[in-house]
Structures are given as C-alpha cells and as structure tokens.
Structure 1
Amino acid sequence: MTKRRVVVTGLGTVSPIGNDVKTMWDNLIAGEVGIGPVTKVNPDEFPTKLAAELKDFDPANYMDKKEARRMDLFTQYAVAASKMALDDAKLEITDEIADRTGVWIGSGIGGMTTYEEQFRKFLDKGQRRVSPFFVPMMIPDMASGQVSITFGAKGINSCTVTACASGTNSIGDAFKVIERGDADIMITGGAESPINNMAFAGFSSMKAMTTNEDPNTASRPFDKNRDGFIMGEGAGILILETLESAEKRGAPIYAEITGYGSTGDAHHITAPAPDGEGAARAMQQALNDAEMEGTSVDYINAHGTSTEYNDKFETMAVKTIFKDHAYKLGMSSTKSMTGHLLGAAGGLEAIISILSIKHNIMPPTTNYETPDEDCDLDYVINSPRETEVNVAMSNSLGFGGHNASLIFKKY
C-alpha cells in the first residue's frame, strides 16, 4: 500500500505560557516560566505549592457561554485550541469535506474536576442535585466529541487515553488514519485540566510532584537536584491533512509528519522500564516508520518530567538509539517552563517541535544549574539555540508503560 504524505497546516494552543501559538512560542524562547503558586486548590493542604495554570482564559472568546457551561474545562480548552488551529489552517469544514474530516484528541484523565464537584454535590445534597451533564462532561472522549459537534467534522472521531502519552499517541493515530486513506484531514492533539484536589492528592501521595516552592527552579529537567514534576493544564491541537489536500487549498504548511512509534514497557504501572528500554523501541519505531537514520534527527523535545527516573532513563534510551549522534543532537524539556500538561503535553510539545523546525530555533531547558552524571547529553541549557533544524522528534511516556514518539521534518 502506498503511504499518503501527511502535513501540518494549522496549530492552536492554550497553555500556561500563552493562550495562542505566537504568545506561547515568544514566551518559550524568552525563557518565561509559566509556573506559580497554585490557586485552584488550597496549597496549605498539599506538600506541592505550585502549578502551571492558564492565565486569563475566557471560554466566551471561543464558544457560546451556555455550551461552555456544559463542558469540563479540558473540553473548553480543546474547543478553543481547535478553533485557533482551524483558523490558522484557513480551513472551513464544509459539507463537501465533512465526511473526510475527523477528530482524534486525547486526554489522560478527562473531567476529573467535574467528577470531584458533582461527587461533593451527591454527598451533600443527594442524587437529584447531580447534573444531567455530569457523565458527558467527565468522560475523556468528550473533547473529541465536542470539537466534532462544534465544527462539523463527521469523519472518524476518537480519543486515545494513555496517561501522559495521550496527546502524542492521538497525533500518531490520527496521522495513520490519513496515511492509510480513511480521512483526508484530522483535528488532533491533547487536552487536560487536572488541577484539582483529587489529582493533587493522588500525585502527592505518589511523591511524583516537586516540593520545591520556588517557581523558577521547581521544574528542572535533567538537573541533579530535580525532585518531581509541576502539574500543568491546557491543550495543543494540530491540523493534519494530506499533502494533496493542502496543496489544493493553498494551505500554509508548517512541516511534514513522517514517523510514529508506540510501545509498551510491560514492566510497572508507574516506573519506566530499566534503561528506558521501552522508550528506546518507540524512538526506533518512529525512525523506521519515517525510513530515516538516527543521524538525520537534529532536535528532540524530550518527555523530560524533572523526575529522577524519567530523565535518567530517557537519556539512556536516546543513547541506545542514537549512539554517538546522541551527543551531537540538541535536546530540551520545555516542561521546565510549561509544567507537565499530562495528556495534553504531547499536543503542546508537538507544536513546539514543529515551530523549532519552522524558526530554526531549539528552545531551552530552563532552571538547569547542577549537572547530573547520569544525564550527560546536550540539553540546550537555559538559552535558545539558533541552528538549522530539519528534523525534530517529540517523545511522551505515560503511566502504564506507554511510550510514544513522533517525527516531523521540514517540508
């Protein structure tokens, strides 16, 4: 079967460092940290005092207020980012293309804030006070469902739930839908709004989040003194379409997506496989899918959570696959500025990887101070690097042993 070429024609995001793509990118390159004191939970009740929250997000700028009230925040974020991506792609979903336009948006935990709010109502006031919209607001596929309804996309409509790999897996799955001919256009990415009491309690109990109270050093991927991640929220959405469709429309083309790898560790529910074995296989799968040698990759946007084992084992995985070239390519974790958007991380970081190609700039890993002998690659430390970027890889790794890698290249 001949593979159809797939390109990226639109980008949209709401993120802790900007509620549109240009603002997000400008702040990223400036090294702006979107982390601050958490406001959505009482910090006195948790060992972690910080989060990467959205600022000044108003759903009325993107959708009807009445409809917004029937959506959890993660779905609002997905609709907002999808609207911006469609506008960016100059794409109107008409009756002529609706059946061939699909949606595939992932979320790691869906509407947990809605679940928490409605469960409290149930305990305090009984069953009759639970909202009839509770279930459709909570389930993770509703971001994809609402985007389809809002914009009239009638093709395949799906949601990948693979914890922190959800956004990356969704983009890869959408890429394959187009490549094999089941759709011509896909709205894809990830969305998450996890900053609530139960999520904070769960991750705190696991000791997965940092207890550092300084926003400017709390998320420090690959640094020897890293001690956990910072929870973030938002959405990152891409418009993928066939090269033929994009050329026919005269659409802007940011990059071509050429490779996707997805593997399972079969090891542990939260800890990565020793030496990053599963992540290494995902990266190799993506290279094989792209029919590309590892020496072609210029930049890796790492999963880089600022946790002890992730950063160490991801570094080992890169060495396993790229060998000597591992020390020659640039690598960074933008979670140092955005925090960890969980299921939306892969959507936002795919956008960042694509923009690194467009602008020939590798964004930095900020907050890095103390080298770690186990993390000895070129992490583009503290300042962006202007250099030719023709090929970028984006990695995401999730609880349950999910590993996903995407490859984008200059068109």
Structure 2
Amino acid sequence: MDKKRVVVTGMGMVSPCGDSVEKVWDKIINGDHLFSKLDSKRAKETSISLAGEIPELNTEEYFSKREARKMDKFVQYAMIASTQAIKDAKLNLDSIDNHRFGVIIGSQFGGVHTWEEQMHLLYDRGPKKVSPFFIPMMIVNMATGQVSMNFGAKGPNNTPVTGMCSGSNAIGDAYNQILNNSADIMLCGGSDAAISSPLLGGYMSQGLVSNKENGNYICQPFTEESSGFVMSEGSGVLLLESLDHAKERNADIYCEIVGYGSSIGLDKESATPSVKGMVTSVESALMDAQLDFKSIQYINASGIGVASLDSRELDSLKSLLEKYEHDLHISSLKSVIGNFMGASGAIDSIISINTLHHDLIPCDVYPSYESIDSLILDQEISESLEYVLNNTIDLSGFNTSLIFKRWRDNE
C-alpha cells in the first residue's frame, strides 16, 4: 500500500493583532512587534510591562455571548482559529464523513484565566461562589473537545500537553493519523491564553521573562542582548487532508507535510535541554521524510530569547550543519511575535508555511543587536524555497520538528 500524502488546505490564527494570518505575516515582514503595555494592575503585580496580550475580540461572528461565558479564553481562541481554517479551506462540513474527521489541539496551560478568576472568588467569597463551569472551562483538553463538538468531528481526538511543543506535536500527531489512514481530515494546532499574574510571576522568578526594553524590542533571540522571552497569547490551527481527499474536492493546497520528528532530552546534571535530544528530533523528521538534510533551505528555529536554551539550540544546528556539510538560512521570529507557549509550534508552523508561499525568509535579528553567530539571518531574503524545517523546543526538554514542502499544482 502506497504511503498516504498529507497536505495543508486551511489555516487560522488568533493573535494580539487580531483574527487573521495575514495581519501577523505583515507585522513580521514590517518588523513590527505584537506587544503592548500590560494593564496597570497586572503590571504592578508582576513588575512586567509588556506582553503579547489580545485585546477584547468581537466574538459574536463565531459564537454567542452566552456560549462565550462558558468558555475560557484559550478555548475561544481555538474555536475562532478553527473556524478560520475551515473557511480558508472552503470545506463543506455537510459533505464529509464525520467519523473520518478529527481534532487534535494542544495547550500548555489550559484555562488559566478561569483558574485565576475562580481562585479569587474562592478566597474572597467562599466555595459556594465558585462557578459550576469552573472545571469544564479550565481543563486542558476542552479546546479539542469544544471544537470537535462544534464542527461535528467524530474521528481521532486528543490533546498533547508538551509545553511549547504542544501545538507542533498536535500537527505531527494529526499528520500521522492521516498517514495511518485513520482520518481524511484533521484540525490541529495549539491554543494558550497564559498571560496571568501567577504564571508571569513564576517565569519572572526563574529569570525567564524579559522585562528589559531596548528601543521597541525586549526579546532578542540568538543575540548578546538576550534576556528572556515575552509571553504572547493566541491560537494557530491548520486543516490537514489526505492528498486524495483534497484533490477529490478540488481544494487549494498551501503545502505538503513530509516529515515529523519528536524527542525528549535533558542533561541529568544541569536539568536543561540536551543538544543530542534536539538533533534526534530533526533527524527523526528527516528519516520520516526520507530526505537528505541538504534539501532543507530554511530552518524556522525555536529561539525564544532565553540565552541558555538558545545557545544549546544553536549548538544542535551547528552539529547538524557540520555533520551533513550543509549551509542554509536560520532565523527565529520571537522578537516580533513573542512566545505563544502551547500555541508556539502551531503559529511558527503557519509562519514557516508562509515562507514557502511567499518565497520570503524573514529575519529576527535587528541591525542594532549583535548576533552570537553568523548563521542567524540579519536581513530578510527572497528565495524560491522547496523544503522548510520548523523546530520547536521546550525548556523541559521536549523537541518537535516538522518538514514542509512546497506544493506544485502539477503533482
């Protein structure tokens, strides 16, 4: 039996600049970051001034106010991004086999806003004031569940919880469901709304969140100025289909997913992510794609702005380049978009797909900052791309690698 081929036919995103993939891409190309001032109460509680916080969205296009009151923000974002992906793919839900339609949406933290709100009610007014919707709004698998119920998806369904890799693991797992002929269509990605005082405070106490404003930019991956990440909130969702299913309905195709790898690696002594684990993830994706590393032209690196993690990621990439005697382009976009936590891998994947679609590689390092290595792009490049590698690395040692291939209509 021939191996199934998996293609991307729809994309959706919710970010601090609105409910649009195009708006984020425009920000990246123009070098405009997504960050804004935190509200004064939260800024005072955490001593953090900027974050990629989503302003109040008009959600009535997607669900009623009554429905919204029963959904945490991370679920709302996943619902909106999923709706966009289905619309973008021009998928008629009435004409598909619902039992061959699945949903996998990862999240790192789940309903943090609900948790924070209900804890205040508990301590201030007692347990009888805690909402009966607290548990179903807070649990981390509710984005997957709500999206599945809303769109009638009755196929494969789960929720990866692998830190910042949650969204990219969701895409990889969905890809495998189609490869294994368990589904024809999968909605997949990640969603998080983690900007809360307890989480910001926790990361701040670990020295992982940047609070240093240097001009307009406070997050500088792979630079001497690196001082931590900026937390963002949002959701990224892809609609995947088997190539046969997409062709049968004459769908427009963004790209093909050809490889997926994942690993976990922690150094025992330092309890930090290992270079070997990162390399293993990339090589697993290459093996899955049956592809030589020299075919990869661009790596969208994880690069979150935490010096210890960024330097290890750079060491892993150098190791691969030396082993396979290959030069390519590398950048990370976290100084513009921030760290979307459990949605990071999914949103980065959408950006990687856009590089293929637009033949344009954006840069992350600005001229006023000195990169710690000449491998990292300091200017955007226009280039015809065939294969792009998207890497996601979590501080806990999880690693995920996805390989996207340009789609040509004559295939």
Give the AA of the match of 2:377.
Answer: V
Give the AA of the match of 1:380.
Answer: L
1:320 aligns with 2:319: yes
Residues 216-235 of structure 1 aligned to structure 2 (within 5 Å): 216-235=216-235
- Residue in 1 that maps onto 2:388: 392
What is the CA distance between 1:124 and its match in structure 2? 1.4
What is the CA distance between 1:211 and its match in structure 2? 2.1
Unaligned runs of 5+ in 1: none
- Residue in 1 that maps onto 2:331: 332
- Residue in 2 that maps onto 1:380: 377
Answer whether contact 1:220 1:306 (CA < 8 A) is retained: yes
**Identity over aligned residues, as a percent?**
39
Number of equivalent positions: 407
Give the AA of the match of 1:360.
Answer: D
Residues 5-24 of structure 1 aligned to structure 2 (within 5 Å): 5-24=5-24
Answer whether contact 1:260 1:285 (CA < 8 A) is retained: yes
Answer whether contact 2:294 2:326 (CA < 8 A) is retained: no
- Residue in 1 that maps onto 2:79: 79
Distance 2:174 2:309 in 1: 26
Answer whether contact 2:101 2:185 (CA < 8 A) is retained: yes
Answer whether contact 2:333 2:363 (CA < 8 A) is retained: yes
Q: Give the structure-2-normalised TM-score.
A: 0.95
1:281 aligns with 2:276: no
What is the CA distance between 1:151 and its match in structure 2? 1.1
Answer whether contact 1:364 1:384 (CA < 8 A) is retained: yes
Answer whether contact 2:223 2:365 (CA < 8 A) is retained: no
Distance 2:272 2:240 in 1: 30
Answer whether contact 2:19 2:80 (CA < 8 A) is retained: no
Moved more, 18-27 or 320-329: 320-329
What is the CA distance between 1:95 and its match in structure 2? 6.5
- Residue in 1 that maps onto 2:293: 294
- Residue in 2 that maps onto 1:118: 118
Residues 101-250 of structure 1 aligned to structure 2 (within 5 Å): 101-214=101-214, 216-250=216-250
Answer whether contact 1:106 1:343 (CA < 8 A) is retained: yes
Distance 1:78 1:260, change over 3 A: same
SS at 1:186's partner residue? strand
Answer whether contact 1:93 1:153 (CA < 8 A) is retained: no
What is the CA distance between 1:215 and its match in structure 2? 6.5
| Two-structure CA RMSD over aligned residues (Å) | 1.9
Distance 1:175 1:163, change over 3 A: same
Unaligned runs of 5+ in 2: none
Distance 1:269 1:162 in 2: 22
SS at 2:39's partner residue? coil
1:402 aligns with 2:401: no
Distance 1:361 1:40, change over 3 A: farther
Answer whether contact 2:304 2:334 (CA < 8 A) is retained: yes
Distance 1:120 1:59 in 2: 26
1:28 aligns with 2:24: no
Give the AA of the match of 1:349.
Answer: D
Distance 2:155 2:269 in 1: 34
SS at 1:370's partner residue? coil
SS at 2:60's partner residue? helix
Answer whether contact 1:68 1:76 (CA < 8 A) is retained: yes
Q: Give the structure-1-normalised TM-score.
A: 0.95
Give the AA of the match of 1:26.
Answer: D
Distance 1:185 1:270, change over 3 A: farther
Give the AA of the match of 2:398.
Answer: H
SS at 1:241's partner residue? strand
What is the CA distance between 1:56 and its match in structure 2? 4.9
Give the AA of the match of 1:312.
Answer: S
C-alpha offsets along residues 297-345 of structure 1, whole Å, 9 cap, x if unaligned?
1111111101111211111111112327787311111111111000001
Answer whether contact 1:336 1:367 (CA < 8 A) is retained: no
Moved more, 2-11 or 92-101: 92-101
Distance 1:121 1:266, change over 3 A: same
What is the CA distance between 1:268 and its match in structure 2? 5.9
